[in-house]
Structure 1
Amino acid sequence: MSKFIRNVFILSVVYVSILTNSSVAHSYTFKAKGYAPTSDFGNKVESIKLYGDNLSRFNLSSDDFEIEYIDGDNTVKEKVDKIQLGEDYVELHFEAISYNTNFNITCTKTDDLNISKNDIKFDLGDSDKFKSGIHKATEDSEILQYRLYTPQVTSDEKVPLVLVLHGGGEVGSDNSIQLTANDMITGFASDRIQSKNKSYVLAPQLPAELKVNVDTTGKIGWNEPKIKQALLDTLNDLESEYPCIDKSRIYITGCSMGAMGTWGMITSYPDMFAAAMPVCGQGDISLMENIKEMPIWAFHATNDPVVPMYGQKDQYKYNNNIIGTKTIVYRLKELGSNIKFTEFSEEDMLKAGVRVDENAIYNHFAWVPAYNNEEAIDWLFSQRNNKA
């Protein structure tokens, strides 16, 4: 299986190891740090550094270490590619694996250097810039955990806020995986974007039991009424807590299930948002009148088999008006909208590094080229809501 396939997350499946991940007891004391920077396909563990007194006494080589993790139904064991040695440290380098996969590292020379993922303190790059928050449940809204990036601002400065809704693979309660599955969210907090477009970045996590699947659970994801109210309440609370947030520049974006939520939020609360950027989602075509004047730039891949660009899939269709992006675009243009739309061919996806030639399902990954489109990002931040 290719490196690309092993390290990505799709709408309805998250590849997570079932290896035990409890900390390992050692008679020799050392510390471990890992480097797992953000990327288009999630945070990837690229190296691990062990620190301890007189580590050189073990006379270690790369052949002495083995990494084990679960990939689908298979247990994978790999050797370390190379190591760097010092008197009091050893740094292990290997083919990158997903941070969201549990793993164990075994040292064949001494059990004292066996290590599990839980033993390691990771540098997660831009993911580390976010702090945790929670919206407490009310009579009208669900409990909702979130992560928030807060930029450095002066007291008289006004900056926008971007609400980013994750896809179906990042549901849960860890309030973490929405940051590490891909860099859709963390990209907005990167130095590259913040240097041009300073903003707050709000990244909630949908509880797993509410993941969209009309067929089996009847749940509709971000479009659950109490979730939409929780999102609205959270935005209002943050505007009160952070007076530097520019209420005329609240933006919303999301991919896959998050794009479904984006369409749902803007059609329900059109006066809240200055602009929207839905990527590979579906929406209720009967509500497009509500947003015909809103600045929108939508994205979808031509051959998306997960969320079809034109049509419907029963597990996402919570009423008969739910339809794909391109059909929505046609409808909005009929209503006089200036909506922008970018369609990605398979060639476009390959140019973006998405290996659609290995598996057609990766045509769903329109978020990779979409969020690397600097013109679109700059466009988003240039929009202003005159009704706010």
Structure 2
Amino acid sequence: MKKTAILLQLFFLSITTFAQDLSLYKKEEFVSQGDTLKYRILYPKNFDASKQYPVILFLHGRGESGNDNQKQLANGGKLFLNDNFRNSNEVITIFPQCSQTSYWANVDIDTVNNKRFFTFVKGGEPTKAMSLVLQFTDQYFKHSYVDPSRIYVGGLSMGGMGTFEILRRKPKTFAAAFAICGGDNVKNVKKYKDVPLWIFHGGLDDVVTPQFSYGIYRERKKLGNDAKFTLYLKANHNSWDSAFAEPELLPWLLSNKK
């Protein structure tokens, strides 16, 4: 009984610690013409508005869509709370949340026999969610405490698709990017061919085929500006846990400067 009580105590302590950690991300909202983009933002431990900081914009996957301003932190939120990272890097990290009725990327999705098929659009107008992110970042990145030479973006699944989407719409904004199990129309790649890019995918992914990521990698190679590409041969759709565990991911990202 005593052992069970201790285990339960540790379990609830871990839940509390997790919640406390994520609560360090401030809850904010951006409103434009009646539409609202909810987002969470993590400032450096000793934030000083008179200094300049790099900014990482993180785009979540479809499973974290909603309007609770919480779920978007489920995958990736803890990555930027790591004490070693926070003690060594002063970074502003932003997690916007996509609504259930929209999508980060301009992509047509059909479902046949419970299987999703993605057709990525070349060009086209941004979705409502992406439009809000574009407006928000246009405004936020003008703050004097944002280092314009060190703005980054990354995301997973739908957010990986959104990463490619925002790169082609704002190719001069980002110093580097990473995309996990995402995809894009290869005809869009030339618009972000000069942005340092690290692409991740699971070799067994049966939700978003790794062929999408490989196609972008191959196109970048053809355009003469290679991207980094990591394929986890035994991973299915969840390749983000492996990507987040890469010790060089964040050091590589932050080493890039415009």
Cα separation, partners in 2 of 1:95 and 1:199, compared to 1, 3 Å: closer
Deviation at 1:178, TM superposition (A): 1.3
Shift of 1:225: 2.9
Question: What secondary structure sits across from 1:231 in the alignment?
Answer: helix
Q: 2:94 aligned to 202, 212, 215, which one?
A: 202
1:80-99 map, 5 Å: 82-84=4-6, 92-93=8-9
The letter of the residue matching 2:179 is P
Cα deviation for residue 94 of structure 1 reads 7.5
Find the counterpart in structure 2 of residue 379 from structure 1. 252
Residues 293/123 of structure 1: CA separation in 2 closer, same or farther (3 Å cut): closer
Structure whose alpha-carbon radius of gyration is higher: 1
Alignment of 1:1-388 (within 5 A): 82-84=4-6, 92-93=8-9, 124-138=19-33, 142-151=35-44, 152-179=46-73, 181-182=74-75, 184-211=76-103, 214-215=109-110, 224-240=126-142, 242-310=143-211, 324-346=212-234, 349=235, 363-385=236-258
SS for the counterpart of 2:101 is helix
One-letter amino acid matched to 1:92: L
Counterpart AA for 2:153: I
**Contact kept? 1:158, 1:244, Cα under 8 Å:** yes
Contact 1:197 1:378 in 2 (8 A): no
Residues 134 and 146 in structure 1, CA contact (< 8 A), matched pair in contact too:
yes
TM-score relative to the length of structure 1: 0.57
C-alpha distance after superposition, 1:60-116 (max 9, x if no partner): x57xxxxxxxxxxxxxxxxxx6115xxxxxx834778x97xxxxxxxxxxxxxxxxx
Contact 1:252 1:262 in 2 (8 A): yes
**Distance in 1 separating the partners of 2:67 and 2:108:** 18
Q: How far apart, CA to CA, are the structure 2 residues paired with 1:268 and 1:284? A: 14
Matched residue SS, 2:243: helix
CA RMSD of aligned residues (A): 2.7
Alpha carbons of structure 1 residues 95 and 126: separation in structure 2 relative to 1, 3 Å: closer
Matched letter for residue 230 of structure 2:
T
- How many angstroms apart in 1 are the aligned matches of 2:25 and 2:216? 34
Offset at residue 377 of structure 1 (A): 1.2
The amino acid across from 1:145 in the alignment is: K
How many residue pairs end up in the alignment? 243
3-state DSSP of counterpart to 2:149: strand
Give the Cα–Cα distance (whole angstroms) in 2 for the partners of residues 344 and 136 of structure 1: 39
Q: CA deviation at 1:189?
A: 3.1
Asked if the contact 2:181–2:201 (Cα under 8 Å) also holds between the matched residues in 1, the reply is yes
Once residues 288 and 243 of structure 1 are traced to their aligned partners in structure 2, the CA distance between those partners, rounded to angstroms, is 31
8 A contact 2:201–2:231 mirrored in 1: yes
Question: 8 Å contact 2:163–2:177 — kept in the other structure?
Answer: yes
Question: Aligned AA for 1:230?
Answer: L
More RCO (CA 8 Å, sep 6+): 2
Q: Per the alignment, do residues 368 and 230 of structure 1 end up closer, same or farther by CA in structure 2, a change over 3 Å counting?
A: same
Q: Cα distance, 1:307 vs. partner?
A: 0.6
User: Which SS does the other structure have where 1:83 is aligned?
Assistant: helix
In structure 2, C-alpha distance between the alignment counterparts of 1:178 and 1:155, rounded to whole Å: 26
Q: Please list every run of 5 or more consecutive structure 2 residues that lacks an aligned counterpart in the other structure.
A: 112-117
Query: What displacement does 1:305 show?
Result: 0.9
Q: Deviations over 1:270-289 (max 9, x none)?
A: 01111110001111211111
- Give secondary structure in 2 for the equivalent of 1:215: strand
Deviation (angstroms), 1:155: 4.5
Q: State the Cα deviation string for residues 42-65 of structure 1 (Å, max 9, x = none).
A: xxxxxxxxxxxxxxxxxxx57xxx
CA deviation string 1:281-302 (max 9, x = no partner): 1112111111111100111111
The residue identity in structure 2 corresponding to 1:252 is: V
How far apart are 1:125 and its partner, in Å?
Answer: 4.1
User: What is the CA–CA distance in structure 2 between the aligned matches of 1:146 and 1:261, rounded to whole Å?
Assistant: 16
SS across alignment from 1:281: coil
Shift of 1:122: 6.9
Q: Distance in 1 between matches of 2:50 and 2:97?
A: 31
Letter in 2 for 1:260: M
